[in-house]
Amino acid sequence: MSNGDPPAAQYRLLAPHFLSGGIYYDANTVITAGVQVPANWVPSLNVDALNAAAASAMYSAGPRQNCYENRNQYQQENYWNIGYSPFLVAQTYWQYLPSQNMWEFVSPYGSFAPVGAS
């Protein structure tokens, strides 16, 4: 990164991940776009944004099935039974609002418009 470039997206893994090149990273590992993953990496549902660039990338990826905070269901569907920590809590996540049929993006890194559910 040179002067004037925005900071690269950084994420905390909330569950184990196999990333670029099949390298295994345990839960609670901090990864950086352009280092452990490509600069244009689409964040998984089991990461937490650590800066505004990461929050923006998560918002751009949009809400996906199981993208609310039901990480137990996501874990079971991806067979991640080893190394999972229920103590890692996301600050940035999608939350479904059934009364409005909308997804709300919750983040300490800015305000984001709700997205209609399909």
In this prediction, what percent of the chain has a pLDDT beyond 90?
A: 51
Q: Name the pTM for this structure.
A: 0.80
pLDDT in the model for residue 23: 93
Q: What's the order of all strands across the beta sheet hosting 93-97?
A: 93-97, 102-106, 115-116
Q: Domain segments of the chain: what residues?
A: 10-116
pLDDT at 68 over 50: no
Averaged pLDDT for residues 96-113: 92
Helices (H), the chain: 52-61, 71-77
pLDDT at 71 over 60: no
- Nearest-CA neighbor of 109 among 33, 54, 31? 54
Q: What is the pLDDT of residues 24-64, one digit of tens each?
A: 999 899 999 999 999 999 998 889 999 999 999 999 998 87
pLDDT at 84 over 90: no
